[in-house]
């Protein structure tokens, strides 16, 4: 039966590469109803309005939301402007600064601009949780806190670890999951999706929907956390192990190629449009030696560039990359500087931003990491006194063009 096939196809797309689903039957029911009657359901996903650029880690979630949109969902894109002032308990996070209204709106704007590169704006409602959380008031907040107890709160993995390690836990951090859960009450969400690290908070939504008598308990769909370029830690801006979706094609391409082969398969699974079967097949071919792992990685890098730009940009990024690194040529778009004749090499390096300090510059020269026009600099006392244009290089990837005289 055709309808049954549509339902199954939708479910298979939705469950692809998920980490865990709680109450799958509910999701099935919602999709079935949509296919049969056209009635839509809501999927909530929360984001902090910290104003940072989106990276591939976010796209794992966003792509899943897109899949939901294609299968009957309206997305409740929750901007946690109120909760952002507390900070999700992630171990290190101190209580954050209260963001003023203007900053929040500005951040939300840069956020949604990027989000709509992936999501369909017509099927997305952008909502701010300050709307109902500010109205909650002290009595409302107290009522909210009575629905949970400390022992259960401490079950949260993060709290437990910190507690055992003798680290500080602020009382406000206990409030965070409650407020996030309350968002689900206010929005009457059918489904909420988030990373596996959000499990506790996501389940809180179910708990509170039950306590507050919303009449339904949201299903929860968790996506795996995308590891950053180091392959170990979560991709995040603060660890500087991320690929931003607004980065240049060149950078996206280069960063993708720098990941390990193991991590590549992970990225394929979570980020690629390829089906899991296709990916498994590629993996087999690499294992059998029929496909060079680097070729597979190049394909992934190009797919990612094409996703955020287009195929032409992807091709260009690959060519530029090959030119620089395979043929050992210099890139064609280096920052340019002009320097006075007689400039000391270490000063030249700091002034062009290739090195943070002259001490660091000296160390790198000693180690043979600095080159001028491809020639290793041997003497740290070298002065650039011959007029002309040179290419300064530190390590493999930092370049600058300088004009002397």
Binding site residues, RNA, CB under 7 A: 163, 166-169, 230-231, 253-254, 257-262, 264, 293-294, 297, 321, 325-326, 344, 346, 350, 356-360, 362-364, 367-369, 381, 383, 394-398
Count of other CB atoms within 10 angstroms of residue 390: 18
Does residue 371 contact residue 353 with C-beta atoms inside 8 Å?
no
For the chain, give percent helix, strand, coil, nearest 5. 50, 15, 35
Give 33 or 323: the residue with its C-beta nearer to RNA.
Answer: 323
| N-term to C-term CA, the chain | 79
Please, which residue, 148 or 344, has the CB nearer to RNA?
A: 344
Q: What contacts 278, CB < 8 A, 6 or more positions away? A: none
- 279 or 369: whose CB is closer to RNA? 369
Which of residues 196 and 359 has its CB atom nearest to RNA in the complex? 359
> Locate tokens 């900070």: which residue?
87
When the beta carbons of 2 and 367 are compared against RNA, the nearer one is 367
Shortest separation between residue 395's beta carbon and RNA, angstroms: 2
Nearer to RNA, 71 or 343 (CB): 343
Q: Minimum CB separation from RNA for residue 225, in Å?
A: 18
**3-class DSSP state for residue 110?**
helix
| Residues 164, 352: Cα–Cα separation, whole Å | 47
Among residues 148, 206, 215, the alpha carbon closest in space to that of 181 is found at 206
DSSP 8-state assignment for residue 233? S
In angstroms, what is the minimal distance from the CB of 342 to RNA? Answer: 8
Q: Helix and strand tally (H, E) in the chain?
A: 16, 13
Sheet strands side by side (includes 336-339): 336-339, 398-404, 388-394, 370-372, 375-376
């Amino acid at each position: 039966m055709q309808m049954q096939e549509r339902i199954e196809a939708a479910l298979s797309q939705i469950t692809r590469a998920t980490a865990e689903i709680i109450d799958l039957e509910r999701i099935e029911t919602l999709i079935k109803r949509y296919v049969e009657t056209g009635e839509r359901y809501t999927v909530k996903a929360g984001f902090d309005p910290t104003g940072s650029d989106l990276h591939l880690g976010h796209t794992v979630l966003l792509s899943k939301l897109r899949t939901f949109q294609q299968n009957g969902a309206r997305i409740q894109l929750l901007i946690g402007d109120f909760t952002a002032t507390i900070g999700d308990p992630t171990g290190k996070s101190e209580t954050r600064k209260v963001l003023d209204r203007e900053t929040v709106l500005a951040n939300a704007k840069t956020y949604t601009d990027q989000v709509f590169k992936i999501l369909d704006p017509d099927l997305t409602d952008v909502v701010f949780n300050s709307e109902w959380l500010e109205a909650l008031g002290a009595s409302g907040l107290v009522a909210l806190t009575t629905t949970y107890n400390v022992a259960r709160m401490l079950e949260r993995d993060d709290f437990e670890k910190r507690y055992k390690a003798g680290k500080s836990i602020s009382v406000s951090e206990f409030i965070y999951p409650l407020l996030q859960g309350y968002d689900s009450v206010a929005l009457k969400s059918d489904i909420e999706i988030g990373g596996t690290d959000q499990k506790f908070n996501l389940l809180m939504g179910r708990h509170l929907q039950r306590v507050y008598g919303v009449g339904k308990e949201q299903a929860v769909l968790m996506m795996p956390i995308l590891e950053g370029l180091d392959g170990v830690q979560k991709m995040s801006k603060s660890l500087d192990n991320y690929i931003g979706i607004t980065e240049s094609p060149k950078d996206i391409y280069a960063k993708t190629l720098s990941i390990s082969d193991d991590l590549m398969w992970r990225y394929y699974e979570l980020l690629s449009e390829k089906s899991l079967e296709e990916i498994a097949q590629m993996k087999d071919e690499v294992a059998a030696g029929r496909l060079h792992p680097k070729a597979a990685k190049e394909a992934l890098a190009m797919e990612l560039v094409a996703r955020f730009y287009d195929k032409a940009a992807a091709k260009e990024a690959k060519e530029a990359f090959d030119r620089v690194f395979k043929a050992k040529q210099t890139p064609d778009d280096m920052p340019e500087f002009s320097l006075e004749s007689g400039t000391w090499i270490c000063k030249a390096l700091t002034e062009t931003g290739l090195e943070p300090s002259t001490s660091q510059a000296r160390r790198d020269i000693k180690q043979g990491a600095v080159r001028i026009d491809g020639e290793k600099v041997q003497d740290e006392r070298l002065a650039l006194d011959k007029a002309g244009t040179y290419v300064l290089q530190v390590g493999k990837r930092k370049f600058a063009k300088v004009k002397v005289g």
